[in-house]
Every structure is written in C-alpha cells, then in structure tokens.
Amino acid sequence: MPLYHNDDQAMLKDSVAPFVAEQAPVSHLRKLRDSADATGFSRDLWAQFTEMGLPGMLVPEDHGGLGMGHMEAGIVLEEIGRNLTPSPFLSTSVGAVAALAKARGTQASRWLPAIASGEAIVALAIDEGAKHRPDRIATTATRAGNGFRLDGKKSFVLHGHVADMSIVAAKTDGGITFFAVPKDAKGVTADPRRLVDSSLASHVTLDGVEVDADAVIGEVDAGGEILDALLAATRTGAAAEMVGVGQGAMDMTVAYLKERKQFGKLIGEFQGLQHRAAHLYGEMEVARATVMKAQQLLDEGNEGAKLMVSVAKAKAGRAANLAVREGVQMHGGIGMTDEYDIGLYMKRDRALAEYMGDVHYHIDQVARMNGY
Amino acid sequence: MSELDAFRTEVREWLEANCPPEMREPIRDEDDVCWGGRKWVFKNDAQKAWLEACVAKGYTVPDWPKAYGGAGLTPEQTKILKQEMKRIKARSPLDSFGIWMLGPALLQFGTEEQKVHYLNQIARGEIRWCQGYSEPGSGSDLVSLQTFGEDKGDHWVVNGSKIWTSYADKADWIFCLVRTDKANKYQGITFMLFDMESPGVTTKPILLISGNSPFCETFFDDVKVPKTQFIGEINRGWDVAKYLLGHEREMISGGGAGGDMVSIGGAFAKSFGKNAAGELDDPILRAEMAAFDVDVFAYRAMGERFMDMWKTGRAHPASSNMMKYVGTELNKRRHELVMSGGGSDALEWDSEESKGGARARSWLRTKANSIEGGTSEVMLNVIAKRILDLPGA
C-alpha cells in the first residue's frame, strides 16, 4: 500500500475538512469556553457528526458502523486538530471502539451500535496519576456476589463526567480486566477539572462500585490485548490530531510571516525566520508520514504497528510542539494575547501531548522495543 | 503465479547461478567497491566475473533501455531485483557517477547518438566519470562559476579549475560546467564532456579531516574540447546541471540521506552492557539514542512516503530538498552518537582493532553530508522559497 491517501480517502477528506472548518472552527471552541460550558463539547455538533456517520467510522459493519480504518479516522482527527474542535471523537469513536471491537461479546454488542448511532458517549478510565503508567494499574476488581467490586482512583478521564459509560481498567487476580461501568453506577464520583485547553477531564473515584459479571469487557484477566488495542488506537489518534494542530499552527504562522512588516520589510524576508519555518516544515512532513505509517500498520494488523505507534506519538509530539512554540514566538507580542488564536493551539498541543503517554514515555518505549 | 512472482523466481535463480560467494561478503576495504574504468584493477576474479555477468544481463543499470546497456526493467521489476540482491547480501556490481548522475542527464538531454555511445560505455563500466561542478570561488553560489571555454570554431579552449571533483585522479572522463558566455550568468554555461587524459588537465588530491582524499582539485590549462562534446544546447548547460542536481537530491532522498536506517541503541546494547533492568548502562546516552531512533524510524516512513509520492507525481517538486536536509542532518547526528557510544575506542585512528580508525573517519566524513550536493542552508532557502512561498527568499 502506498503511503498516501487513496481516492476514497481523499474524498473523505474533501467532505470532512470543509464540514469541520464551517461548523466547528476555532470560534466554536471560544464560544464554549467563554460561556463556561459544563459538558465539554457541543451536543448539537455531535449530532451533526452523527449525520455524517463519523462516530461509527471504526465500528464494524455488523454493529452498525462503517467498518473503516485508522487511516480514515486519522483524516477526521487531523481536521479536528486543525480547528481545535472539542468533541468526544478520540475517546469514544476511536479508543472505546478499538477496545470493544477487540473484546467482542455482550458489551460490544450493547455499546458499539450506540456509539455508531451517536447516542452513547464513552470515556476511557486508564490513567491513575499525573503521568501515563498503564503497566501500573492499581484499581482493583474483587469478586463479590454475582460480579465484581471496583475500588480505585482514575485521572485524566476525558468526558468522564458526562459519559454514558466508562471503560475501566482494573487489576484482577490473574491480570488486567476491563469493565463497562455505566454512568449511574453507585459509588462512582466524577470530579471534572477544567484543563489548560478548556477541555474537561475528570478525576474519577470508584468506591466499592458493584457491577454484574456481564459488565466485563472481553474475558476476566485477559485485558492485556484489549489494553494494547485501546492504547494503540488512542495514541495513533492523538498523534493524528496533533498533526492537525501542528499544521494549523504552522499555516497560521507562515501566513503571518507574509503579512507582518518590521524594519520596512515583511518579516518573512528575514533568513533567520525563513530557515526556522523551513525546518519546521520538514519536521511536520516527517511527523505526518510517520503517523500515516502507524495508521497503515494498525489497519493491516501488522506486528510492527506497536513500535510505529510509539514512534508516531513521540514524533508528532515533538513536531507539533515545535510548531506551536515557533508559532507563538514568530507572532511576537500578538502571539501572547488571548484574542489571537495561536495561543489556543499551544494549549491544545500540550494537552494532547500528555494524553496516553508523552514524548518521553514513548521514546523510552522505543528503546525497550529495540532491546535497550 | 503472477508475472512479478515469476520474475522474482527467475531473478533468484539467476543470482544463485551468477553471484559469486565472495561478492556476498560485506564490504571491508575501499577496493571491494568496483568503480570500473580504464585504470580499474579487479581485486579478484570474483569481482570481475560478477561485473561481467551483470553487464551481459543489463543488471548494472537494470532500468535503462536495452539499447543503452540496461535490462529494460519496469520500476516494479527493478525493485524486485534490488530486494533479491539485498536478500543474498550481494554487493553492487558497479558503482559509478556515470550511472547515478551523467546517465540520467544523458537520458533526458542527450542525442540518440550520444545515448548509444556513452550510456553503453557506462553500463559496461568501461569509462569512469567524475563531475566538474564546484570551483574554489563558486560553492553554494554555483552559477557564478568562472572556468571559461573560448570558442575556437570547431573546438573550445578551456581554462580554469574545479574543486571537490570526487575521484578525479582515478577518473577517465569528466562532465563539466564551463562558462561559454561571460555576459549571460544563467544562459552562458555549457555542459561539456571530455577525456581527463587531454593535454592540460591536472589533478591534485585534497587531504580531508578524515585523513582520506576522495576529492581533488582539478586544473584546466588550455584544454581543447571538440565542439561535439556537450549535452543539451550550447549556453544552456545550467538546465542540465539543475536537472542533475535535482536528480542527485532525489537519489539521496530515496536512499542514502539518512545513512544506516536502523536502531542505534540496539546496536550498542551488546558492547555497552545493560543494567539489571535490561537498559543500556548510561541513562542519558540511552535517552539520546532512543530519541534519535524515533527520528530514524520516522524518517524511514518519510522516505517511503516520499518515494511513493515522487514516483506518482504527487510530491512537491522541491520536496527532495527537504528530504536531503532532514536525512543528512540525521546521519551526522548518528555518527556523533556512534562516537559517544564507542568512547575512547572510537578515537583510535589507525589501529587494527579500530579497522584503521573506521568510526572516527566515518564520523568526520559525514560532516560533508550537509555541505555536498547543496548545503543544509541552501536546502532551507529552497524550501522557504519554493514550498512555503516566503517573500524575497
């Protein structure tokens, strides 16, 4: 498979890009932020996403979705990134779908169609501290009655306070087990915190939460593969969104270099800025290729996907971070103002960079996967 | 079985029968690489047999037409041949600036007569070519070159000097940019071809920081060049030169720019030792190597995407400049890490254990990567101007 979008994918991009740019440009984010919106995204917009069939892109066709791949989801995520659009797409339509589709079974049959129809928002309760350490899950699930009792604390749960269901990773006797914990379950408290990018992420407390045995996603103790699928999909998705954020910031900045005058010249005439912009272009192109490669390997079910996913999250993290830092610096004073959008790109990049493992985490993973 | 599968089987059998075992060993010394030419002395019978077998089959230039000494393979077939050669670790039968640089220019700009004559010579490894581009006063600003060919009716008389002519002291012929009109900067250069044994040509190797002398300074003192020996049009040699530079960057981009595209940390894990957790026993160096590995794997994906897009006309025409810039900077970084990983062993300059200072010399050699074929700074200028469309660039 060549590493560029095929005709169908190009058509998808041609319909999604103007849709997101028109319906949810940066001003949409500003409106939610300035009205202190308590949901974290617009349900009207999500209904429009649903009309386009987007929430169920990755849902298998036999569960009411479109059965598309990560390459296609990446096209949507890049536009979401470019427009800083708040939406539950990454957690619900990418991460949760990957986990449920991997697990199959009762919970998959129940939730996948609901995601595809836009009815269900699903949150991912994986992290437990300020840093992403999925190999150290301490939340416990102990057998109780017909089912399990969940105890622990989760953090950085995007949309956790409004999700219809949370996918909770917990330790069981022989490994990791995933549970579908519904919104109204007794003993669950979601404490939403406003983050730097105006999104809402919850600290979720599980205090003796009792769930039935059929709340298990997949099999008991066999959550390792589900975790891998969830993480690979979400990380690749976050990387794709970061490519959009970086590209959006770079485009804005290059445009600014062509209009801002100082010393009687367009600042884009100065070689000091030209070289930095050209270097950034190279980094963004490499990041884009890397993310596409990860998407392609995931879609093929290739065993090399895991390495490339970490490479993509790290590389996109580095490149987008460079794009937003150079963006603010090259905009000068105006880049520091709230009124101008470039700062919002910097904020979103920071949140995405942290999500599901930051650059340093994934660089370390790459070393481990190469035997050092 | 598809046609390509059948071709693969055929190639496999041919290689098995024709590639001598010695030619499947890793390259150890400089003369393990066969450059051909009038002065070439084969290192052994195997090297000679391998070249001759490939010449007979057209495999020194597999994708060139058969009439010019190639095998007329399609891009897919060429890829398969390369894969199969790589699989058995076969050495290249013939390395040559004729194949990499002059050939593509001839295919694009040469007359039929020139193609038949020169391309066949190149394909057979009979003539070793060198490239006369840079001059002492014309490096990045190549178009300011001053070597002058005075029109004498049926020939030019060429005077001047070239620098960084790779292996000029070993080459048979030179392809050379010569000013033929002093009034026209861009449209006053002719792309000439002439014999290095012509009276008035002298070469002087330049000793580099690596201790090696792959480059020469080349002097022309009243060198007569017949007015049939040029490519393209008289005074339009800059078009040929630009095409060739573009091709060179594309070639570097498709292959060598990033150097050895494998994990660097993995390579050091054995010699370096690991701690109880199985990590390279130097946490900061490990981190730098891992960060480098991320960039290597990322650039590998970029190379794949670049070639896929380039071949199908989807790539920005200037994107090979970005590839060269990113790749060569990456390779320089690799060799800095190789030196750090090697410690004091890597400093040894001529010991047997260090294979004659191989690591140190390679490290120094890579510093030229971002200078030759267009400096990194020129690449960034081109990206700024042609891709980002920045003003006044």
Q: Pairing state of beta strands A165-172 and A122-125?
A: parallel
Integer Cα distance of A150 and A34 in angstroms: 37
Give 10-residue mean pLDDT values along chain B (393 residues). 90 96 90 94 96 97 96 91 93 94 95 97 97 94 96 97 94 97 96 98 95 93 97 96 84 68 83 86 94 96 92 91 95 95 94 94 94 94 97 79
Contacts of A371 in chain B (CB under 8 A): 265-266, 269, 278
Contacts of B281 in chain A (CB under 8 A): none
| Residue among B269, B301, B381 whose CB faces A372 most closely | B269
Minimal C-alpha gap between A133 and chain B (Å): 17
Contacts of A311 in chain B (CB under 8 A): 294, 297-298, 301
3-state secondary structure of B239: helix
3-state secondary structure of A149: strand
Minimal C-alpha gap between B282 and chain A (Å): 11
Contacts of A265 in chain B (CB under 8 A): 392
Contacts of B302 in chain A (CB under 8 A): 285-286, 289-290
DSSP codes of every residue in A47-94: HHHHHTT-TTTTS-GGGTS----HHHHHHHHHHHHHHT---SIIIIII
3-state secondary structure of A223: coil
Residue B384 to residue A364, Cβ atoms within 8 A: no
Integer Cα distance of B22 and B355 in angstroms: 20
3-state secondary structure of B163: strand
Integer Cα distance of B231 and B109 in angstroms: 6
E strand or H helix that includes residue B202: strand B201-206
Q: Which residues of chain A have pLDDT under 70?
A: none
Integer Cα distance of B324 and B376 in angstroms: 8
What pairs with residue A204 in β-bridges? A154, A190
What pairs with residue B22 in β-bridges? none
The tokens 């042609």 sit on which residue?
Answer: B386
Contacts of A308 in chain B (CB under 8 A): 297, 301
A262 CB-contact burial (10 Å; exposed 0-12 / middle 13-18 / buried 19+): exposed
Q: Which of A136, A165, A171 has its CA nearest to residue A150?
A: A171
Integer Cα distance of B45 and B22 in angstroms: 10
Residue B308 to residue A372, Cβ atoms within 8 A: no
pLDDT of residue B330: 95
Residue A308 to residue B266, Cβ atoms within 8 A: no
pLDDT of residue B266: 83
Residue A367 to residue B279, Cβ atoms within 8 A: yes
Q: Are the C-beta atoms of A198 and A33 separated by less than 8 Å?
A: yes
Residue B298 to residue A289, Cβ atoms within 8 A: yes
pLDDT of residue B1: 66
User: Is the torsion defined by CA of A76, A82, A88, A91 positive or negative?
Assistant: positive
Question: Model's pTM, two decimal places?
Answer: 0.92
Contacts of A363 in chain B (CB under 8 A): 287, 290-291, 294
**Per-residue H/E/C for B313-341:** CCCCCCHHHHHHHHHHHHHHHHHHHHHHH
Chain A contact probe: residue of B286, B293, B376 with most A CBs at under 10 A: B293
Amino acid at A365: Q
Tally Cβ neighbours within 10 Å of residue B349.
10
State how far the alpha carbon of B321 is from the alpha carbons of A69, A171, A262, in Å. 32, 51, 29
Q: Which of A201, A128, A198 has its CA nearest to residue A170?
A: A128
Q: Which of B260, B330, B296 has its CA nearest to residue A308?
A: B296
Chain B contact probe: residue of A13, A242, A251, A286 with most B CBs at under 10 A: A286
**Backbone phi and psi for residue A147, each to the nearest 5 degrees, phi listed first:** -145, -130
Interface of A with B (CB under 8 A): 2-4, 254, 257-258, 265-266, 268-269, 271, 274-275, 277-279, 281-283, 285-290, 292-293, 307-308, 310-312, 314-315, 318, 362-364, 366-367, 370-372
**Backbone phi and psi for residue A308, each to the nearest 5 degrees, phi listed first:** -70, -30
Minimal C-alpha gap between A123 and chain B (Å): 30
Chain A contact probe: residue of B288, B297, B312, B325 with most A CBs at under 10 A: B297
Q: Which of B391, B301, B231, B387 has its CA nearest to residue A280?
A: B387
pLDDT tens sequence across A182-232: 999 999 999 999 999 999 999 999 999 999 999 999 999 999 999 999 999
E strand or H helix that includes residue B278: none
3-state secondary structure of A352: helix
Residue A362 to residue B294, Cβ atoms within 8 A: yes
